[in-house]
């Protein structure tokens, strides 16, 4: 089989399932894993997919979601830079909400040394990241488990979140659009995020540069609903104007320079 034929079949598999694994493709096409990695690298350079450690995904549809296991392997430097900056805004003794995003997992990892902190979350991976800390109390809300994200959602989760009040809510998203606001790929996750915002004194939007100028499936909130945006790249002049028009302050932590 020619490489071009193999790559076309990989695209077809991505369109069907949304993600692929190197090991599975290697067995399917009877070629080495290194050959598959070269295929994926070539396809990524052409904008056809996004490589991860051990596979790749395509995120073409507005409601298409990437499994958390794969989201945790992309844009790692950007997410860690954002997480470090976000953690600096958390004070000892705070109560905070963390949602089920992969960036929230990175934030949790940076919070383990905080003292007398309470974290309320609907994400199993966030709770796991904080489990090693003796000084962070973790409250996991109940609800319906979503296997792809390892989060709990639904009316039960929302009702439990309503019981608590927090100093800050760190809210992630799938898209930021200048006229459409902040959007998500899943309506149940969006409802949980909205409820967290309602219960927090301050809502902080965290989004890496890949989320800008993207519209996902369902609306979460407007820029006016947030007090701060934390990202990993300095926004363009056009975006700066949009944020200023909505009175939304921003901070950026460049993953490459540390500034």
Taken in order of first residue, the domains within the chain and their CATH numbers are 3-58 (1.10.10.10), 76-252 (3.40.50.1360)
Q: Are 152 and 146 in contact (CB under 8 A)?
A: yes
Residue 25, token pair as written in the block: 């493709």
pLDDT digits (tens, 9 = 90+) for 207-223: 998 899 988 889 999 99
At 13 the three-state DSSP class reads helix
Which pLDDT belongs to residue 14?
82
pLDDT at position 52 is 81
93 class by beta-carbon count within 10 Å (0-12 exposed, 13-18 middle, 19+ buried)? exposed
Residue carrying the six token digits 């932590």: 253
Task: Say if residue 91's pLDDT is above 60.
Answer: yes
Residue 32 has pLDDT above 50, yes or no: yes
Find tokens 């809210």 and name the residue.
Answer: 171
The reported pLDDT for the residue numbered 88 is 95
Mean local confidence (pLDDT), 149-156: 96
- Chain centroid to CA 134: how far? 26
Element of type H or E holding 188: helix 187-198
The pLDDT of residue 2 is 87
The answer to whether residue 98 scores a pLDDT higher than 60 is yes
Q: Are the C-beta atoms of 185 and 216 separated by less than 8 Å?
A: yes
Q: Average per-residue pLDDT in the chain?
A: 90
Q: How many CB atoms lie within 10 A of CB 210?
A: 17
CB 233 within 8 A of CB 252: yes
**Per DSSP, which regions of 131-240 are E strands?**
136-140, 144-146, 151-153, 166-171, 175-177, 181-184, 200-206, 218-221, 228-231
Res. 185: pLDDT tops 50: yes
**pLDDT (0 to 100) of residue 257:** 47
Q: pLDDT grade, residue 44 (50/70/90)?
A: confident
Report the percent of the chain where pLDDT is more than 70: 92
Instruction: List the structure tokens of 7.
Output: 């790559």
């Amino acid at each position: 089989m020619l490489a071009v034929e193999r790559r076309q079949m990989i695209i077809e598999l991505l369109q069907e399932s949304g993600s692929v694994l190197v090991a599975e493709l290697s067995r399917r096409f009877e070629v080495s894993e290194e050959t598959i990695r070269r295929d994926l690298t070539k396809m990524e350079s052409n904008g056809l997919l996004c490589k991860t450690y051990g596979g790749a995904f395509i995120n073409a549809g507005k409601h298409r979601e990437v499994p958390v296991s794969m989201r945790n392997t992309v844009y790692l430097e950007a997410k860690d830079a954002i997480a470090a900056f976000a953690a600096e805004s958390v004070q000892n003794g705070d109560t905070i909400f963390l949602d089920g995003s992969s960036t929230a997992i990175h934030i949790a990892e940076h919070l383990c040394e905080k003292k007398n902190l309470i974290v309320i979350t609907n994400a199993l991976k966030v709770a796991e990241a904080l489990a090693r800390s003796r000084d962070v109390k973790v409250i996991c809300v109940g609800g319906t488990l979503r296997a792809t994200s390892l989060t709990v959602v639904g009316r039960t989760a929302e009702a439990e979140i309503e019981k608590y009040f927090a100093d800050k809510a760190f809210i992630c998203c799938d898209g930021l659009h200048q006229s459409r606001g902040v959007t998500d790929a899943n309506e149940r996750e969006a409802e949980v995020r909205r409820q967290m915002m309602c219960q927090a004194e301050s809502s902080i939007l965290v989004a890496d540069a890949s989320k800008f100028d993207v519209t996902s499936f369902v609306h979460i909130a407007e820029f006016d609903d947030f007090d701060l945006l934390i990202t990993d790249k300095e926004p363009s002049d056009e975006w700066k104007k949009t944020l200023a028009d909505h009175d939304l302050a921003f901070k950026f932590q460049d993953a490459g320079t540390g500034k």
